[in-house]
Amino acid sequence: MSDVWLTRLLAFSAGAVNALGFLSLGGVFTSVVTANSAMIGIGLGGGRPAFGALAGLAVLGYVLGAAGGSWTAARAQRSAPAAGFLLLEAVLLWTVAVWWAAADGHPGGAARTVMLGLASAAMGCQNAGVRVSLGAHVATAYLTGMLTQAVAEAVTRRRLQRRALMTVGLLICGAAAFALLGRWLPGVAGMLPALLVTGAWLTWHAPTRADPATSA
């Protein structure tokens, strides 16, 4: 049961982090590498190098975060069952949250750039860590492949994948929650993703949590 809540919290958080990047950190996403890669091309071809550079930073941050998340998750599997990738992601997001609060929800240009890199790294860490720890079939932020598979299953096997629909819905709700907080309580909106990932880390360590090796 705790694995279910873990993935739900992470999907909700992913929506909030992507909304943070798009609405407040330069108009790019933190985990959508396809869109950001296209934005790099748009920046290069459309005479908007600064925009392309932000998208490139998001991709770079994601790659570095994915490397860190993969390493910490694999190391935890070989030694102790601690979710090191979630701890790393939480540290990244709490850094963003504290910086955000210090700026009262309105960080300056240089701060926005660094925060975008940190938030993107957190998303890379999450996606890679979940993949290594829970298996490639579990998705919390990478939804294109999951949604494609769900549609294919529905058409070819008449099978509805409720988990996929739930994940998409949670990501949308997470983005909506950040947008609402950004409007009404901008000074604390940046804490939402960090709180959610901290909750996921606590869920991972819940006594009732199943062993990934036996539940995959």
Q: pTM (2 decimals)?
A: 0.89
CA distance 139 to 163: 10
Does 130 score more than 60 pLDDT?
yes
Average pLDDT over residues 56-69: 97
Per cent of the chain over pLDDT 90 is 69
Per cent of the chain over pLDDT 70 is 91
Average pLDDT over residues 184-200: 96
Average pLDDT over residues 48-61: 95
Q: What is the pLDDT of residues 84-126, one digit of tens each?
A: 899 999 999 999 999 999 999 999 989 999 999 999 999 999 9
Give the pLDDT score at 1: 43
187 Cβ contact list (under 8 Å, min separation 6): 101, 104, 105
- Higher local confidence (pLDDT), 204 or 33: 33
Phi, psi of 192 (to 5 degrees): -55, -55
Give the pLDDT score at 159: 84
- Higher local confidence (pLDDT), 153 or 8: 8
CA distance 16 to 173: 8
Give the pLDDT score at 75: 83
CA distance 33 to 15: 15
3-state SS string for the chain = CHHHHHHHHHHHHHHHHHHHHHHHCCCCCCCCHHHHHHHHHHHHHCCCHHHHHHHHHHHHHHHHHHHHHHHHHHHHHHCCCCCHHHHHHHHHHHHHHHHHHHCCCCCCHHHHHHHHHHHHHHHHHHHHHHHHHHCCCCCCCCCHHHHHHHHHHHHHHCCCCHHHHHHHHHHHHHHHHHHHHHHHCHHHHCHHHHHHHHHHHHHHCCCCCCCHHHHC
Does 213 score more than 60 pLDDT?
no
Give the pLDDT score at 190: 96
Could you give the angle at the alpha carbon of 58 between the alpha carbons of 54 and 63, nearest 5°?
145
Q: Which two tokens stand for residue 58?
A: 């998001």
Give the pLDDT score at 83: 75
CA distance 29 to 59: 9
Mean pLDDT (the chain) is 89
Give the pLDDT score at 164: 86
Give the pLDDT score at 68: 96
Residue 28: which pLDDT band, with cuts at 50, 70 and 90? very high
- Higher local confidence (pLDDT), 69 or 77: 69
Give the pLDDT score at 78: 54
17 Cβ contact list (under 8 Å, min separation 6): 30, 31, 93, 119, 122, 123, 174, 193
